[in-house]
Amino acid sequence: MFKSFLKPGIVGLRPTLMTSNTRGLMAAVRHQGTVVTKMTSEKEQNELLVSQRKVRPVSPHLTIYQPQLTWYLSSLHRVSGVFLALVFYSVTIGFGVSTVFGLGLSTENLAQFYNEKVPSWMDLTVKAGYGYLFAFHFGNGIRHLIWDAGKELTIKGVYRTGYAVLALTAIMGSYILTW
């Protein structure tokens, strides 16, 4: 009733050649180097799938790769962008909601609370965290603009600009920290 889509000697099915209806009615079974197609129930298909998944090799993850400056900077750029945006939008929405509902949140009240209630060690920690993250994200954004211009796209150039971003982060972050 059903024909195999395989040529003799080829092992495995090509899912792209099968319709979704055909996939639901047939399963491929390996038998001495050939593929036999037979009718199966949904329960048998699930059992076959489970048995195939048990012998499937685990895909390698980042642990097999040597850490590189490129992917550390890429990851940190994304995380810093999300974190800085989250803080910015939270403060902006807070001011907006306060204005609409008359909660009294203003820059004067916020500055007064900050100066009276926040200890100096926390002030320094918050400034350092935001300052260095902003400096890094700013510098790495310039690096991306350089790449967009078609410059520094070699491995040597990518590493050179990466180290320049780290140097700029240290200098600019330290300057922001002194404010």
Is the CATH number of domain 67-177 2.70.170.10?
no
Closest CA to 136 of 74, 92, 87, 89: 74
Question: Burial level of 66, CB count in 10 A (0-12/13-18/19+)?
Answer: exposed
The domain limits of the chain are: 15-54, 67-177
pLDDT tens-digit readout, 132-174: 999 999 999 999 999 999 999 999 999 999 999 999 999 999 9
Count of H-run helices and E-run strands, the chain: 6, 2
pTM of the model: 0.63
pLDDT tens-digit readout, 67-77: 899 999 999 99
Do 125 and 170 contact (CB within 8 A), yes or no? no
Over residues 120-127, the mean pLDDT reads: 92
Over residues 100-121, the mean pLDDT reads: 91
Between 13 and 135, residue with greater pLDDT: 135
